[in-house]
Every structure is written in C-alpha cells, then in structure tokens.
Structure 1
Amino acid sequence: MGLYVEALIRADPDDLWDRTQQPARHRRWDLRFTDIDHLPCAPGEPQRFRYATRVLPFLTVSGVGVAAGERHRSDGTRTSALRFSSRHPLSLIEEGRGYWRYVPTDDGVRFLTGYDYRVRWGRWGRPADRFVLRPLMGWATAWSFDRLRLWCERGLPPERSLRYALGESAVRLLAVVAVAKTVPAAGPAAAALALLLPPSPVTPAARRCLRRPPGRARTAPPALLTTLPAATSATSPAVTAAVTVPEPS
C-alpha cells in the first residue's frame, strides 16, 4: 500500500514550487532528509541528486535519486516525479518512486504526494516496515507538509516552527508527569488529553493533512514517472515496476 499525504497551502504557486524543488530550501522543512544535493548531469537529462538522513548522531544513511518536473501544463497543474534508491546496508528502504502534484484551486494550492518503496532485510524487513517505518514515514511526511504550509502562509521559518513543536511537546509531557505524580489515577487521562488537545496554530501537526486520497484512488502513476530511468544502473526494470504509488482520481 502506497503512502499518500495532501495539504492545502495558500501560497503563490511559483513560490511553493521553489521551496519544494530547490534542495537548499527543501531540506529546511522536510523532516525526512538531513541533506539534499543535485549531482552533475548532461543537458536534457533528468536531474540526479543525492540525499542523506541522519538516523542517529553518529549514523547517516544516504542514497541517490533521479527527478524530473513539469512546471507549465495547460490545466495549471504541476508535477514532479522521482525515483530513489540506497545501497547503504542499514537502510531499510532499498528503492522506490513517487511524485508531487501541485493543483491550483480557489482556496490555494493542493500540494500532494504519493510514493512507495521496496524494503530489504528479507523476512525481517517487511514487519519492520509495516509496524515501524511506514507509519513513521507517513507521519513525518504529513508533519513536514504542515511545516511547509506554516512557512508559506505565515512566514514562519521551518527552524523556528521546529523549536515551537519541541517546546510544546515538552510542556505537554511535563504537565502529564506533574498530574501523574500528584494524582496517579489521573495520569492516563492526562496523557490522553495531552495527545488529543489541538496543537498551537504555529506548531506543525500531521493531523492537519489528508492521509488518504479524496474519492476513488488509482494505482497508475503520473505519466512523467513512467519515463524516468532507474535511480542507479543496478536497479532492474522488474524491481522498479513492482512499486506502485497512489494517485487521486
């Protein structure tokens, strides 16, 4: 099952495109990546890039990808597609593909993504992905989209919104601890309340994003995605074709 996230962002389409397509701006708001850099490529070829994610203070997992975009379409929408892969032995994700779509509306831009990936580690990789990585990736994508929305709509720098999120989480945790120490029986209720209370308007929250495509979904990827070469020459067409991504109807 592919991952899907959608956010309505009230921003200029060109500005939104730049904040999501330029590596220096992209890595500021996307929690999934520590670093993103373009790699040299010949004129007319899709853009190749390198990405890295710091899993622990002493451990960084990296990979490579290839991307292409359609910025000017007759219907006003824009699309960016990519394939990615990692040969790092500690990366659970082996290879995958996905897309971003920008759909202008009267209320703003529907910024949405659909992506999926194939995991390694054999029989151990599938449950690790299902119960740990996939839920975490879905949450991180949605949280990052809302962080981007705050940057575009309120001018709130992603670095500051992260500090707000950490501060609010700390306050909620301290409140739960204080209640549990004072009235132990009320501890579970306080924990549930801390989780259910709506976040501050300046704090990113995954719950503000759609996590399922509206209406009936299709598994066919955008046409642009089917034209991209594999992220590395070691990726076979058979492996790539096995990865499907959700797309709204």
Structure 2
Amino acid sequence: MLYVEARIRADLDVLWERTQDPARHQRWDLRFTEIAPLPSAPGAPQRFRYATRVLPFLTVAGTGVSAGERHRAGGERVSALRFSSPHPLSLLAEGSGYWRYVPTPDGIRFLTGYDYRPRWGRFGVLADRLVFRPLMGWATAWSFDRLRLWCERGISPARSLAYALAEAAVRTAAVLAGAAGVSAGLLPGAGGGGPVSEGGGPVAALCALALTAVALLVPPSPRTPAARRCLRTPPPRSAAPRLLATLEHPS
C-alpha cells in the first residue's frame, strides 16, 4: 500500500473542488496527462477515463469509477476509486484507493492510500518493486505538495512546475561544474594561486564534493514542490473507508 499525507492550510471546499473536478485534478497531478469524466447514471458513482503520456508517441490509458462523501462526522470528507488499464504496455493492471480530508486546527490532513496489481508476471513484480512503486510514491508526494502550493500560496501548477525545472537545472549545472573543475584541473591546488600544484588533485576533489553536496542537499525553494514535505508512512490502524467496498470494478 502506498501512503502519502500533506498538511494543507486552505478552505476545505477549495481543496475538494481542486481534487474532485477532473479538469482541475489533472493540472496538479504529475501521474496523469488527462482525466476526463465519462457518462454516468444520475446518483451513480462517476466514471472517468485517465491517460498518461509515457513517451511523446506513447500514451497509456485506462478507466475508473469514483464516489465521494462530503458530509461525515467531524467535518471529514472522503472519496474512493477503482481503476484499471487494458493497455498491454501499462505495468499497472488494476487497483483501488481513497482520499481523506480531515480538518484539524492546523489545516487539513489530505491523505491517500492506494494499491494496484502489476502485470507482466514475475518481471512486472520485480520492476514494480524496484522502480515503478518508488516512482509512483514520489510522484504522488510531489503532486500533493504542488497542490498545497496552489491552495495555500496561489502558485498555479504550471508556475510551480516551471520553478521546479529551473531549480533542477541550477542544481544539475552546479554538479556538472564541480565535475568539470576536477577533470580540467581548473580548481586551485593546495599550494595556492598560479598553476595547479601537485597537491591540487585532492583539494579539487574535496571542492567538487562540497559543491555537489550543496547542490543536492540545499532545501528546495518555498515556491518549488518537494516530495520530502509529505508524510510517507501510514499511521497505526489506518484503513480504507467503507465507501471503497461499494464500488464495482470499472468496465
């Protein structure tokens, strides 16, 4: 089970709208390129289609069904969904999950728990454990923080993505500059100014390591989404809402 929790200091109705409306949901959620509602009977759970562009020429799509409860004890809200993808290149075959909205004096605990069944046999299970599942957990947490910035600070999902790309470019450039400084012998050696002395190699390496550490360990900008700001370990006795059991498998 993948679990992610963010503390969002915003109006509950605003958070509900930006997560339950497919057009707004797809703006902040890195896992999806498109989320579109499908025709559903009045009063029935909402059916939807989702798609993820894996490569410029490859899009993996699936369908799902979701339902929500806006009025629960203590002001809490909850939604649940089931989803599946028949696409043979989709590692994710089918799954289910939920969102909880828990008001607290310090903001809304917005949390999710979800799981899925991978395809491709033993290879799929291994690929999921080593690569796909950690990536999905990171993408969910990063997206939740992106949503938080939108709700708390008014930073649109497009702007926060631009900030993230710019920050990643700066960090990458710093790492490359450190590596280039070592290989080209441009950093001063232990003997001080002038040409590099014989002791310059170790000193240059230490400088490069320091530059790399700064580039990688400096906290992200307050305007940049970061998965590290979200809780990734579920609390004791966490369980899926009963609403999930009422949903049928999407057809």
Give runs of aligned pairs for residues 101-140 of structure 1, distance below 5 A. Answer: 101-140=100-139
Secondary structure at the aligned position of 2:144 is classed as: helix
Please say if 1:198 is aligned against 2:219.
yes
Secondary structure at the aligned position of 1:43 is classed as: coil
> Residues of 2 paired with 1:176 and 1:98: CA distance?
39
Secondary structure at the aligned position of 1:64 is classed as: strand
Please say if 1:207 is aligned against 2:228.
yes
User: How many residues are treated as equivalent by the alignment?
Assistant: 229
Shift of 1:72: 1.0
For structure 2, the 5+ residue unaligned runs are: 184-204
Secondary structure at the aligned position of 2:53 is classed as: strand
Q: Which amino acid aligns with 1:42?
A: A
Shift of 1:75: 1.7
Residue in structure 1 matched with residue 241 of structure 2 by the alignment: 222
> Residues of 2 paired with 1:48 and 1:195: CA distance?
42
Q: Deviations over 1:97-151 (max 9, x none)?
A: 0000000000110000000000000011001000110000000000000000000
Residue in structure 1 matched with residue 250 of structure 2 by the alignment: 231
> Residues of 1 paired with 2:23 and 2:40: CA distance?
18
For structure 1, the 5+ residue unaligned runs are: 233-249
Does structure 1 retain, via aligned residues, the 8 Å contact 2:150–2:157? Answer: yes
Q: Deviations over 1:180-204 (max 9, x none)?
A: 1113524444334322210000000
Give runs of aligned pairs for residues 39-54 of structure 1, distance below 5 A. Answer: 39-54=38-53
Secondary structure at the aligned position of 1:183 is classed as: helix
Residue in structure 2 matched with residue 6 of structure 1 by the alignment: 5
Q: Deviations over 1:203-234 (max 9, x none)?
A: 000000000123x144x4210001101112xx
Secondary structure at the aligned position of 1:229 is classed as: coil
Between structure 1 and structure 2, the one with the greater Rg is 2
Give runs of aligned pairs for residues 10-21 of structure 1, distance below 5 A. Answer: 10-21=9-20
Give runs of aligned pairs for residues 130-209 of structure 1, distance below 5 A. Answer: 130-184=129-183, 185-186=205-206, 187-209=208-230
> Residues of 1 paired with 2:162 and 2:240: CA distance?
36
Does 114-123 or 174-183 show the bigger shift? 174-183
Residue in structure 2 matched with residue 97 of structure 1 by the alignment: 96
Does 160-169 or 39-48 show the bigger shift? 39-48
Which of structure 1's runs of 4+ aligned residues deviate more than 6 A?
A: none
> Residues of 1 paired with 2:18 and 2:166: CA distance?
25
Does structure 1 retain, via aligned residues, the 8 Å contact 2:178–2:209? Answer: no
Secondary structure at the aligned position of 2:6 is classed as: strand
Please, what TM-score do these two structures have when normalized by structure 2? 0.89
> Residues of 1 paired with 2:213 and 2:116: CA distance?
33
Secondary structure at the aligned position of 1:100 is classed as: strand
Q: Which amino acid aligns with 2:14?
A: D
Please, what TM-score do these two structures have when normalized by structure 1? 0.89
Secondary structure at the aligned position of 1:201 is classed as: coil
Does 194-203 or 8-17 show the bigger shift? 194-203
